[in-house]
Amino acid sequence: MTQMIDEPTAHAWAALGGASELVAGVAYEGPGDGLPSRLPVRELARATVGVCSLAAAELLAARNGGGVPAVRVDEGAVATAFVSERHLRIDGRAPVSFAPLSGFWRTADGWVRTHANYPHHRARLLAALGLPDTPDSDGDGGDGHDEAMVQRLAAELAGRTAESVQEAVYAAGGLAVAVAGPPQLPPSLPLVETRRIAARSAALPSAELPAAGLRVLDLTRVIAGPVATRTLALLGADVLRVDSPGLPESEEAHADTGFGKRSTRLDLERAADRAVFEQLLDEADVLVSGYRPGALERHGLSAAALAERRPGLVLAELCAWGWSGPWSGRRGFDSLVQAGSGIAVTEAAADGRPGVLPAQALDHGTGYLLAAAVLRAVTERQASGAGTQLRLSLAGTAGWLTGGLAAARAGQGTHEAARWLGGTRTPHGLLTYALPPIGYAGAPADWSRGPGRWGTDTPTWTA
């Protein structure tokens, strides 16, 4: 067990505004051979889970009085949870991580990374490149069609420059990032941005779980935001995910990150649905958003408007590329930020093919940081009644990872994921899944409920 203060943990805790003396209470145990990488992914992973565990313990102490419970995080649990989507099984079936048209492709001058997991992203990618998504002459619309489209896409991209592909696909609303060239990140992106907003909130009463009684509106998708709200649900929050009916979700993605939460669908363009959403918002303690900067403003849900109508609200916002700079308004996923931040080059193979981290570490790491930031904001609100605006980004986490995290001494033993897997029956079927890695004295070992079907819950808060 590591007793000395861990530098990445101390850095993350300082970014969250936590008291420095509390970091000495965080210890790590278990194997240190998980998440092998050229970059310090293991150190980032355990630090983000460590500060999330500490934030939960701190809030529990603020609600109940007494000292902050001891924090001990097992690195085996962390390494397993950071690839939770890969451990998921639905009636024994493994999910598909990336669609056939998602990945690295050679271009005339380097490499480009595409993301086409959702049907609308696939359609926009192909439309931008002038490739019709039609079956072959034999009528094959299955695997054979996908194989043919892979060949056509590869041939098309080989004749274009990476940046021209990037810009054409972006203009069409799709997702592609050039691997060649300088990183697309503004300098010195903050890990966490915090701003206190209007105050008028009563303190939460004592409780067995840190987030018990918190009502969390979850407006997030894939993977960071849902990991954050999944963690808040573990810690007792009433989490209601709200999606647009026009943006269907993958069953596997929802099964992985829907634990402990409920899920509903509302169209904010429809008056009736908007009225339901307004009622939910009026009773919410926390709103977590994963939309691009400015996206909520067109619905009258800017930070200023929310602070005015709901004093004491914790508004936690997440984006891909940071909240400033020329790419701040662009769509993005973990894989694309890895490509655009220099990570793919750092992890490249001997033949020069771009590489990847051993996990969607930007997603998972940012998710635990986001949950920690919310918990810390609620702790601060206990004393002042003030709301908080929080901003995090995958790019900010990428900058931290590539900026030189201190290495940690390897732990004892060998990582065995099976120890950290659970099983439960759900409407999806029998699920095998990664257990939560949050570790403080008295922390819940599992969620109170498995994931239901996406978008099928009543849009109300629980009693």
What does each of the 463 residues of the chain score in pLDDT, given as a tens digit?
A: 445 899 999 999 999 999 999 999 999 999 989 999 999 999 999 999 999 999 999 999 999 999 999 999 999 999 999 999 999 999 999 988 899 999 999 999 999 999 999 999 999 999 999 999 876 544 455 678 889 999 999 999 999 999 999 999 999 999 999 996 556 666 678 999 999 988 777 889 999 999 999 999 999 998 999 999 999 999 999 999 999 998 888 899 999 999 999 999 999 999 999 999 999 999 999 999 998 888 888 888 888 899 888 889 999 999 999 998 889 889 999 999 999 999 999 999 999 999 999 999 999 999 999 999 999 999 999 999 999 999 999 999 999 999 878 888 888 889 999 999 999 999 999 999 999 999 999 999 999 999 999 999 999 999 7
Is 421 part of a structural domain of the chain?
Answer: no
Q: Residue 315: how many CB atoms within 10 A of its CB?
A: 26
Residue 396 Rama label (left phi>0; alpha psi -120 to 50; beta): alpha
Is 142 part of a structural domain of the chain?
Answer: yes
Question: What pLDDT score was predicted for residue 356?
Answer: 96
| Count of domains forming the chain | 1
Q: Residue 168: how many CB atoms within 10 A of its CB?
A: 17
- Across-strand partners of 105? 112
Is 123 part of a structural domain of the chain?
Answer: yes
Is 266 part of a structural domain of the chain?
Answer: no
Question: What pLDDT score was predicted for residue 138?
Answer: 45
User: What is the C-alpha to C-alpha distance for residues 374 and 233, in angstroms, rounded to an integer?
Assistant: 12
Is 167 part of a structural domain of the chain?
Answer: yes
Q: Taken in order 395, 398, 404, 408, is the CA torsion positive or negative?
A: positive
CATH (domain of 176):
3.30.1540
Q: Which residues contact 28 (CB under 8 A, 6 or more apart)?
A: 1, 2, 6, 46, 50, 72, 73, 74, 75, 408, 411
Is 132 part of a structural domain of the chain?
Answer: yes
User: What is the C-alpha to C-alpha distance for residues 263 and 24, in angstroms, rounded to an integer?
Assistant: 38
User: What is the C-alpha to C-alpha distance for residues 102 and 121, in angstroms, rounded to an integer?
Assistant: 10
Is 134 part of a structural domain of the chain?
Answer: yes
Question: What pLDDT score was predicted for residue 324?
Answer: 85
Question: What pLDDT score was predicted for residue 260?
Answer: 98
Question: What pLDDT score was predicted for residue 1?
Answer: 45
SS (H, E, C) the chain: CECCCCHHHHHHHHHCCCCHHHHHHEEEECCCCCCCCCCCHHHHHHHHHHHHHHHHHHHHHHHHCCCCCCEEEEHHHHHHHCCHHHHCEECCECCCCCCCCCEEEEECCEEEEECCCCHHHHHHHHHHCCCCCCCCCCCCCCHHHHHHHHHHHHHHHHCCCHHHHHHHHHHCCCCEEECCCCCCCCCCCCCCEEEEEEECCCCCCCCCCCCCCCEEEEECCCCHHHHHHHHHHHCCCEEEEEECCCCCCCHHHHHHHCCCCEEEECCCCCHHHHHHHHHHHHCCCEEEECCCCCCCHHHCCCHHHHHHHCCCCEEEEEECCCCCCCCCCCCCCHHHHHHHCCHHHHCCCCCCCCCCCCCCHHHHHHHHHHHHHHHHHHHHHHHHCEEEEEEEEHHHHHHHHHCCCCCCCCCCCCCCHHHHEEEEEECCEEEEEECCCCCECCCCCCCCCCCCCCCCCCCCCCC
Question: What pLDDT score was predicted for residue 389?
Answer: 96
For residues 223 and 253, is the Cβ–Cβ distance under 8 A? yes
Is 144 part of a structural domain of the chain?
Answer: yes
User: What is the C-alpha to C-alpha distance for residues 430 and 407, in angstroms, rounded to an integer?
Assistant: 39
Question: What pLDDT score was predicted for residue 68?
Answer: 97
Q: Which two tokens stand for residue 227?
A: 């990991």
**Residue from 360, 391, 455, 329 nearest 115 by CA:** 360
Question: What pLDDT score was predicted for residue 408?
Answer: 87
- Domain extent, residue 168, equals 103-184
